[in-house]
Structure 1
Amino acid sequence: MSIWWSLHLRREAASVPLARRLLLGTMETAGVDPDVSYDLSVALTEACANAVEHGGDTAHGRSTGAYRVTAYLDGEKCRIEVADSGPGFTRVQATAVPARADAEHGRGLCLIEELADHVQIGTSPGLGGAVVSFDKILKWRENSPLLTAS
């Protein structure tokens, strides 16, 4: 058995906790180990925050546009993709570089790389916009519904 969902969200700060709660609820219901769920939810929060902040035009101090979050849980791993309609990444930006210790911004991509097993950062071919995808091998609680349904 596998589970997947996709959200089309407005580029507003209030959308970030919505995506995080949906992911945590899905993993809780499926029986994913809480430590793995937490790591993935923090990584998702960082990716969504980047999409909200950088993922499109900003008109009159307000964000415009939307972004998409897609999550797949399939037996052994969870894959999450966050895509926006912004300018995308340059080749230099697509490599996570640690921020200075006193920096208030710039830690998100590095944090995602620390929390996930595999990370891809790039620009959507043909459409523009940034795409951050990451996956993590799942650990399951005993008697997990997703494992027993297989």
Structure 2
Amino acid sequence: MSIWWSLQLRREAASVPLARRLLSGAMETAGVEEDISHELCVALSEACSNAVRHGGDRSQVYRVTASIYGDMCRIEVTDCGPGFPAGGVIPRVERPRELLLGGRGLSLIEALCDRVRFGNQPGSGGAVVTFDKILKWREDAALLRAS
């Protein structure tokens, strides 16, 4: 069995907890272990926060797509901003003072997930953050019974 959903959200701070609650509800209903669900929700919050903050002036929306296939969850967050720097080099925060001002989100996503890709939309620009996480299931997991 698989689950797939996609959201188009306004680039407003209030959209971040909405996306997180929807993901958390899907994980709970499917029977994903709480720790794994929490890590995915934190990663999603960071990716959505970046889309809200850096999504550019061309669009007031961003998109979140999530899917579960077997034991893998894939989440993709796409915005219409300037995208990542050419060459795929992601700027990293190095000075402690900068940590207080932000800049930890991409590193946090990398730490919480099994595979992470940062890229740009072809042609139109805009950042694409895709991350995968191997799922662990509760004993009463709905998807395990339906497989």
The two structures share one fold, judged by TM-score above 0.5? yes
Letter in 1 for 2:132: D
Contact persistence 1:75–1:147 (CA under 8 A)? no
Q: Which ranges of structure 2 fall in alignment gaps of 5 or more residues? A: none
Name the count of aligned residue pairs.
Answer: 145
Q: Which amino acid counterpart does residue 134 of structure 2 have in structure 1?
A: I
- Match of residue 117, structure 1, among 114, 118, 128: 114
Q: Secondary structure at the match of 1:5?
A: strand
Hey, what's the Cα distance between the residues in 1 that align with 2:56 and 2:27? 30
Higher helix share: 2
Deviation of the 1:69 alpha carbon: 0.2
Question: In the TM superposition, what is the alpha-carbon distance from 1:100 to its structure 2 partner?
Answer: 2.5
Alpha carbon RMSD of aligned pairs, Å?
1.5
Runs of 4+ in 1 over 6 A off after TM superposition: none
Matched, 1:86 2:93: no
Map of 2:40 onto structure 1? 40
Contact 1:99 1:106 in 2 (8 A): no
Check conservation: 2:84, 2:90, Cα contact below 8 A: no
Equivalent pair of 2:55/2:62 in contact (CA under 8 Å): yes
Following the alignment from structure 2 to structure 1, what is the Cα–Cα distance between the partners of residues 11 and 88?
A: 21
CA distance in 1, matches of 2:94, 2:139: 39
CA distance, structure 2, for counterparts of residue 34 and residue 109 of structure 1: 22
Number of the residue aligned with 2:105: 108
| Contact 1:78–1:138 under 8 Å retained in 2 | yes
Question: CA deviation digits over 1:121-148, x for unaligned, max 9?
Answer: 0111122100000000000000210111
Identity of counterpart residues, as a percentage? 64
Aligned amino acid, residue 43 of structure 1: A
